[in-house]
Amino acid sequence: MMTTASTAVPTAARGLAGVVVADTAVSDVRGAEGFYQYRDRSAIELAETVSFEDAWQLLVTGEPATDASRPPFRRRLQHAAEGRRSDIDAVVDAVARVTPEVLPGLAAAWPLLGARLALRPLYDLDDEQRLDDAITLAAATPALVGALWRCARGERPLPLLTDRGVVACYLHQVTGIVPDDDTERALTAYLIAVMDHGFNASTFTARVIASTGADAASCLAGALGALTGPLHGGAPSRALDGLDAVGTADRVEPWIREELAAGRRLMGFGHAVYRTADPRAELLKRVALRRGGARVQLALRFEETAERLLAEAKPGRDLHANVEFWAALVMEQCGLPRSMFTPTFAIARTIGWTAHILEQARDPKIIRPSARYVGPSVRTVAA
């Protein structure tokens, strides 16, 4: 809530744009520079150089993985995914009887798993207990998502790959294929790049719930509800719709002109924060180009044409391809079906959510903003 100095009348910041609501040491996004970081490291550098598990450890503990700290952290992850397998299977079986959809299933699975594990409110826990709950839920998430996917297709979950990491195990569960190193690295780059991104809608939702002292599973379920919206995380697969509609390179410009003339939004272009190229999109473009293929060449043509025509149609807006456009290409290259794009995004973002939940839980102040009433005045009831 902001006030104008001249009148002192409260004014509402639409969408809370520009309003600082909390301090954080988890991540920072500098939209004008096209840069963002996790803790004290460039997020893009992490996505290009470290494992999924090491980036996870940095975000949730605040400390980089070392030769000494890496093994115990990974044992915690392994225990949550394998040691809790019977709990995960029980929850998946219960959820699969109600819905074949993965995202609604995950939203139901977290609270059920929390209840089965008797998770207590964050308010009643110390820092180490909160961390344990956060790791347990996040580590269970790839297994939950993969199992829900297979159950929706009438199949049983595959045995875990005991000699591979989280990303390879997830790809194996969804595709049925043990991924090669390049495919695993490609999806790892994507997952790390989207683990966190400032106070986006779902992260803010998680923090609001955490500020009430609720349990970690409730925080994650609320965050996922926000993520499913098409204006937030529900759009990666839609970025491919344009490529499908175009089909061939000669159709790119006519199709985009038709879309813009009709006033329709080009999915995968523009971002609420970045006023320059989205660094995540640039990273994933490099990943897609390295893997190659005709589809990628069509995407390059589409991106160049879309950015040129958007500059003509919306001068001064500086609209570029965002992370969703190239993320969709990379996930498609990795063999993931489109219905699994947003659930895969959720697996990555769960790491960021838990980092923010842990940070918010250390602040005893509940998040409770004000609103400016703009309805009618009170009317006197006639005698």
Q: What is the pLDDT of residues 314-347, one digit of tens each?
A: 887 888 998 999 999 999 999 999 999 999 999 9
47-71 in b/e form (b: 16+ CB < 10 A) is bbebbbbbbbbbbbbeebbeeeeee
Question: What average pLDDT score do residues 61-87 get?
Answer: 92
Q: What integer pLDDT is reported at residue 5 of this predicted model?
A: 46
Asked if pLDDT for residue 259 goes beyond 80, the answer is: yes
Q: Which CATH class is domain 236-333?
A: mainly alpha
* 128 sits in which H/E element: helix 127-152
Q: Select 43-179+196-231+339-361's CATH number: 1.10.580.10, 1.20.5.510, 3.40.50.2300, 2.10.109.10.
A: 1.10.580.10
**246 and 257 in contact (C-beta within 8 Å)?**
no
3-state secondary structure of 29: strand
pTM across the whole model:
0.93
Among the listed residues 156, 161, 194, the one whose alpha carbon sits nearest the alpha carbon of residue 279:
194
pLDDT-derived band at 254, boundaries 50, 70, 90: very high
- Residue 331: CB partners within 8 Å, gap ≥ 6? 187, 190, 236, 340, 341, 344
Measured from the Cβ of residue 284, the count of other Cβ atoms closer than 10 Å reads 27
Q: Which carries the bigger pLDDT value, residue 98 or residue 11?
A: 98
Q: Which carries the bigger pLDDT value, residue 39 or residue 82?
A: 39
Among the listed residues 274, 331, 312, 373, the one whose alpha carbon sits nearest the alpha carbon of residue 1:
373
pLDDT-derived band at 96, boundaries 50, 70, 90: very high
Measured from the Cβ of residue 311, the count of other Cβ atoms closer than 10 Å reads 14
Asked if pLDDT for residue 16 goes beyond 70, the answer is: yes
Looking at the chain, which residues constitute the CATH 1.10.580.10 domain(s)?
43-179+196-231+339-361
3-state secondary structure of 145: helix
pLDDT-derived band at 235, boundaries 50, 70, 90: low
pLDDT-derived band at 2, boundaries 50, 70, 90: very low
Q: What integer pLDDT is reported at residue 10 of this predicted model?
A: 66
Catalytic (active site) residue 271: yes
**356 and 26 in contact (C-beta within 8 Å)?**
yes
Specify the residue for token string 């995380």: 233
Q: Which entry of 324, 332, 356, 359 is annotated as an active-site residue?
A: 324
Q: Which carries the bigger pLDDT value, residue 119 or residue 314?
A: 119
Q: Which entry of 172, 197, 271, 320 is annotated as an active-site residue?
A: 271
Percent of the chain past pLDDT 90, that is, above it, reads 78
